[in-house]
Amino acid sequence: MKSFGELFQTADWRTEKHVPAIDCPDRVSADEMFAVKASLGKEVAHPNTTSHHIRWISIYFHPEGEKFPYQVGHFEFCAHGESVEGADTSTVYTHHEVTMSMKTARPGTLYATALCNIHGLWRFEKDIAIG
């Protein structure tokens, strides 16, 4: 049996549409808010249809030297074109992109995870320095 962590797939977000990209500074000032944007399909578009879509993105931060990461955000996408008239008949769609703010006093690693309803769990990580 695979461990939970082994269920997450990884790749380069520039060539794989399911991998969440993280846009934020590489270096931030201690205890000052900074914006973190996580999105899918930045270079290769991901579908957003009733039958193939991104359900959620979660963002975690693991401060250097600490035992566990913190979940800093979980974002669900609930409109993919479905309506009472059937699949892909709505004019309402969400887009799999979020921007949030956070602060930290320690360097560490940001993790963005995402779930595609067809292709499973994906993750990407980015190191954040202080200074």
**pLDDT tens sequence across 23-51:** 999 999 999 999 999 999 888 899 999 99
Mean pLDDT value of segment 16-24: 94
| The token pair that represents 103 in the structure block | 């602060």
Q: Given this model, what pLDDT does residue 14 score?
A: 84
Annotated catalytic residue within 16, 37, 62, 126: 16
pLDDT at residue 1 is higher than 90: no
Q: Output 15 or 114, whichever has higher pLDDT.
A: 114
Mark whether 52 is an active-site residue.
yes
* Locus of tokens 């957003």: 48
The mean pLDDT of 44-64, rounded to a whole number, is 96
Instruction: Reply yes or no on whether 16 is catalytic.
Output: yes
Distance CA 131, CA 31 (A): 11
Task: Check if 46 is active-site.
Answer: yes
pTM of the model: 0.92
Catalytic status, residue 96: no
Average pLDDT, the chain: 95
**Percentage of residues in the chain having pLDDT higher than 90:** 84
DSSP the chain: ---GGGG-B---TTT-TTSPEEES-SEE-TT--EEEEEES-SSSPPP-SSSS-EEEEEEEEEETT-SS-EEEEEEE---BS-BTTBTT--S-B--SEEEEEE--SS-EEEEEEEEETTTEEEEEEEEEEE-
Q: Which of 45-49, 102-106, 125-129 has the lowest mean pLDDT?
A: 45-49
**Does the annotation mark 67 as catalytic?**
no
Closest CA to 75 of 40, 34, 31, 51: 40
Active-site option among 32, 43, 52, 76: 52
The single residue of 6, 46, 62, 64 carrying the catalytic annotation is: 46
Which residue matches tokens 């993790």? 111
CATH dotted code for 4-130:
2.60.40.730
Contact, 8 vs 113, CB < 8 A? yes
**pLDDT at residue 7, rounded to an integer:** 87
Q: Where are the domains of the chain?
A: 4-130
Mean of pLDDT values over 114-121: 96
Residue of 24, 53, 97, 116 marked active site: 116
